[in-house]
Amino acid sequence: MRRLLFVIAFTAAACLQDRAALALDGSVVSTSGGTAVADAKIDVEVSDVLKPDVAATDRDGRFLIEMHRHFSDDERDTYGVTLTVQADGFMPVTRVFQIPERGRFDQLAGLRIEMVPVAGGATLSDEEKAAVSEQVTQQGYALYLLPFDMDHPDGPETFDLHDFAGALRRSIVPHIQALPVADPPQDLTIRPIAIEVGTNDAERIMAYGLYLKGLAMVTGEMFIEPNQDGTQVELSSSFQIVPQVEGYGPGSLFVDDLIPAEAGSASRLARKISPFWKMASVLAIGVHEYKQAMAGAPADQAALRRIRTYLAAQKAEARADMQTFVRQLDRLISRIDGELTGS
């Protein structure tokens, strides 16, 4: 009898331990002062399976996600999880987390996710504005590349972005020019800009983006990885969409690239970078043009139909592992449909 009780107790303890390994917890805070963000809704994606509104933060900004309640054993058998967080008054944010041990979500305990207020909590001084005033775009069709942090054997440096800017332009511009509308979005520019701001300071980056009237602000980290096949350059980039629409904002998207250091010319480098750059740019253009279409009274119905056409075409090209991105496209398309039908 004692042996049976021991086995039952051991089994129960093991079960509780397994459940603990499947729990994901953390907090959501504002970049403005670090205050808690209450009632933030959290979407979770693992193994290409997206579940919306899996959890919400409490009044202290805390959340707990019991993964076994929402995902099957096979779906949880993964090394990564994507969280998309949305809250009133803040820009949505998507974060991708890597798990050291497959399926052990508890190894990510105490996650901290920062959200940028929609109005932008940071302001630029007159001196900061003057330093970049000549870079302000008049039409709003510009991506700005901020200095990347570099990690290599000789210590941190700044990544020269000009070759990368050329590669992005060669990749993105033909893509938007080929969108299935009679007058595709305008030609966009890729502008490296020397701004002294931390790569994780999303609030100040957004303040610069609003002043520059850009489509997106791009920054991130660069890692040099020597291996037997030659030196690889790993880029982890944040693509922060600037245009803001009340009730909608895709926030920051994240792009990972692995590029041979000897890729050479911009045209060769363009063939190596992630296709997600093109898709993120189309979404940014869509938000910008949607905002313009809605500025009049009444809204420009023809412009809305045109925007919907190229967003739907972009959605059709998205890969199966881009569900979070597709969800942002769907949200904007849904808003356009509501305007077109009057619902």
Shared-domain flag, residues 103 and 163: no
CATH of the domain at 7: 2.60.40.10
Domain check: are 97 and 136 in the same one? no
Residue 301, pLDDT > 90, answer: yes
Instruction: Give yes or no: residues 46 and 137 share one domain.
Output: no
More confident residue, 151 or 245: 245
Domain presence at residue 120? no
Pick from 90, 115, 140: which residue ends a domain?
A: 115
- The number of beta carbons lying within 10 Å of the beta carbon of residue 97 is 16
Task: Grade residue 190 by pLDDT with cuts at 50, 70 and 90.
Answer: very high
What confidence tier does 20 reach under pLDDT thresholds 50, 70, 90?
A: low
28 and 110 assigned to the same domain: yes
Domain boundary among 115, 136, 170: 115
Structure tokens at 334: 């849904």
| Residues 108 and 9 placed together within one structural domain of the fold | yes
Residue 26 has pLDDT above 50, yes or no: yes
Q: Report helix angle 276-293 to 162-177, nearest 10.
A: 60
Q: What is the pLDDT of residue 227?
A: 62
The reported pLDDT for the residue numbered 2 is 52
Beta-bridged to residue 256, according to DSSP, are 236
Over pLDDT 90: what percentage of the chain?
29
In this structure, are 174 and 66 located in the same domain? no
Question: Is residue 78 within 8 Å of 103, Cβ to Cβ?
Answer: yes
Mean pLDDT value across residues 261-272: 69
pLDDT at residue 247 is higher than 80: no
Kindly state whether residues 135 and 211 are assigned to the same domain.
Answer: yes
Please work out, in degrees rounded to the nearest 5, the angle formed at the alpha carbon of residue 319 by the alpha carbons of 219 and 45: 75
Peptide bond between residue 250 and the one before it cis (omega within 30 degrees of 0): no
User: Per residue in 156-170, pLDDT tens?
Assistant: 444 567 788 888 888
Query: How many residues comprise the chain?
Result: 343
The mean pLDDT value of the chain amounts to 82
For residue 32, give every residue at least 6 positions away whose Cβ sits within 8 Å of its Cβ, in sequence order, or none: 117, 121, 122, 203
Please check whether residues 110 and 163 belong to one and the same domain: no
3-state secondary structure of 289: helix
Long-range contacts of 150-157 (CB under 8 A, 24+ apart): 150/221, 150/222, 150/223, 150/224, 151/221, 151/222, 151/223, 151/224, 152/223, 152/224, 153/224
